[in-house]
Amino acid sequence: MVVQHADPQTRPSSVAQFHRPALDDGQYLWRIAKDSQTLDLNSSYTYLLWCRDFADTTIMATIDGEPVGFISAYFRPEDPETLLVWQVAVDADYRGRRLAASMLDALAERVDGARWLETTITADNVASNRLFRSFAQERGASLERDPLFEGEHFPDDHDTEFLIRIGPLN
């Protein structure tokens, strides 16, 4: 069972631990994504498969044993030097601590063979745009931004997703 710390004053001040998720962690990835209220939520089955098939390119953060964030990513099959970051999520009680930036740094250091990093972000996602811009700047890497999936590509009401490409990574 995951304990929620509703009062920010009672949140533990422990340092986050980062690890490769196990199959059982899929439920926590799903919950964190669901509770974010900003991510496109996939089925719980998807997160279980993700923890089975893409655990090597995914990172999970825990604080005092409590799952508090994750980044899911994979190597693009047609471009095995490009790591595509699919979702970045941090539990609401733990936002504002640079946890997403720390997870992204740890993932980039852990994953072998990534020369480029890609993600898609909508124009109005200020936090994600800031996260990836800072990631590129800290590495002295270029950042390219181009529309990838425009509104008409989606079967529902969805804003354009811009492809962010960062690299080469050092």
**Per-residue pLDDT tens digits for 20-70:** 999 999 999 999 999 998 888 999 999 999 999 999 999 999 999 999 999
Domain boundaries, the chain: 16-167
Q: For the stretch 14-44, what's the b/e string if a residue is b when 16 or more beta carbons lie within 10 angstroms of its beta carbon?
A: eebebeebeeebbebbbbbbeebeeeeebee
The answer to whether 78 and 41 have CB atoms below 8 angstroms apart is no
Domain at 16-167: CATH code = 3.40.630.30
* Both tokens assigned to 81: 């030097």
Answering whether pTM is above 0.85, one says: yes
